[in-house]
Amino acid sequence: MGDLMRLCGLGKAFPQRQRNEITILRNITITMGEGETVCVLGESGCGKTTLGRIVAGVSDYTAGSYRFQGKEVSEMSKEERNQFRNSVQMIHQNPYESLNPTMMVFDIIANPIRRHHKIVKIEELYEKVTELLETVGLTPVEDFVDKYPAFLSGGQRQRVSIARTLAMNPKLIVVDEATSMVDTSLRISLLGTLKKIQEETGVSYFFITHDLALGKYFAQGQKAVIMYLGQIVEECSMERLVEYPCHPYTKEILSAAVGSSDILEKDQGKKYRLTGTDNPSFKNLPSGCPLHPRCPQKMAGTCDVKIPESAKAEQGHYVRCHLYEEERQR
Ligand SMILES: Nc1ncnc2c1ncn2[C@@H]1O[C@H](COP(=O)(O)OP(=O)(O)OP(=O)(O)O)[C@@H](O)[C@H]1O
Ligand code: SF4
Ligand SMILES: [Mg+2]
């Protein structure tokens, strides 16, 4: 399968009133093929949504390159840009905000079908809306078509939002913490629906979460990237990430997840803790490796001075940490 999209050295800086600008994303490189999933993991505020919005074309990048189906997004013509915006859709964290409260479920889904597929006949529209509601598991369909969002549960609203997204026939869906407002018991069912849709349609997912267990469930056999303060610090398959985490920050994430989830084996990554009370931020970015104020393995004179390059730990496994640059040189 060919590349669907490729981010290369991508960056994002926001203009600020009192200072020049604030850089949030730095040097992001990710490639994904058709029908694949990339899971982006990282703590709150590390830049996941900022990245997801760029991937979905909702926000622009300020450095590097983003190619979608071979075309540089910032250089697309108006027509190409419209096509790109249709091909990449985003499912948001909060279905309460993303659905129009004054529209019935039927219209919420029928409107993009009218626009995108140029279908106007009511029978054909009803058939397509029915098909989509069945795909997302909102059955019997008659119970939902004439409801307003206020009369649906959070999980049902998120399913409506997924059906609306599918109405555009997207090639790539950015799923940004889409199940975080849904009861735990319904989370797996919703993610199962998304996986089934992928099997049936070959859609790709850019799956954003702070929850390793959810990521592991959703991106089985797929690619995982770990973000810390706007940079990718580790990239490999989801299975390798859990079995052989390399970066100290990944080890911390694994360590924190053990015990809070039965999805991870009980001895995986245990007893690894970052140190220090400093909480580095984008406004106060540490010199050298951004993790060095918290890293128990930091090497004075190196980690606090030099920004680590991404190094190959194994085939398909990359780590941004001086420990691995050192190993490579031995
Ligand atoms: N328009 C903006 N202007 C300036 N800074 C911004 C802007 N949008 C986001 N940021 C900053 O970018 C950083 C990353 O935010 P982002 O929402 O991408 O993080 P996140 O990883 O999605 O967090 P969460 O897990 O809480 O959703 C934050 O420090 C945020 O304040
Ligand atoms: S580069 Fe140094 S400070 Fe950064 S994660 Fe690696 S060992 Fe820790
Ligand atoms: Mg976010």
Q: Could you give the angle at the alpha carbon of 154 between the alpha carbons of 148 and 157, nearest 5°?
A: 45
Cα(293)–Cα(275) distance, integer angstroms: 8
Cβ contact 66:56 at 8 Å: no
3 inside domain: no
Sheet holding 231-237, edge to edge: 88-91, 172-176, 204-209, 37-41, 223-228, 231-237, 317-320, 310-314
Residue 247: which domain range?
Answer: 243-330
37-41 and 3-15 beta bridge pairing: unpaired
For ligand 2, atom 6: residue with the closest CA: 321
Number of domains in the chain: 1
Neighbours of 185 (CB within 10 A): 8
Asked whether residue 157 is domain-assigned, the answer is: no
- Atom number of ligand 1 nearest to Cα 44: 25
Tens of pLDDT along the chain (330 residues) come to 569 999 999 999 999 887 789 999 999 999 999 999 999 999 999 999 999 999 999 999 999 999 999 999 999 999 999 999 999 999 988 877 889 999 999 999 999 999 888 888 999 999 999 999 999 999 999 999 999 999 999 889 999 999 999 999 999 999 999 988 788 878 898 999 999 999 999 999 999 999 999 999 999 999 999 999 999 999 999 999 999 999 999 998 888 876 555 444 544 445 567 776 566 789 889 999 999 999 999 999 999 999 999 999 999 999 999 999 866 554
Give the integer Cα–Cα distance in Å for 149 and 161: 10
Cα–ligand 1 centroid distance for 26 (angstroms): 14
Q: Is residue 56 part of a domain?
A: no
38 strand-pairing partners? 206, 223
Is 275 within the bounds of a domain?
yes
Residue 60 placed within a domain: no
Please report the pLDDT score of residue 258 as a whole number. 63
CB of 52 closer than 6 A to ligand 1? no
Assigned token pair, 289: 């490796």
Does some domain include residue 288? yes
Residue 276 lies in a domain: yes
Q: Which helix (H) or strand (E) holds 191?
A: helix 184-201
Q: Is residue 201 one of the residues assigned to a domain?
A: no
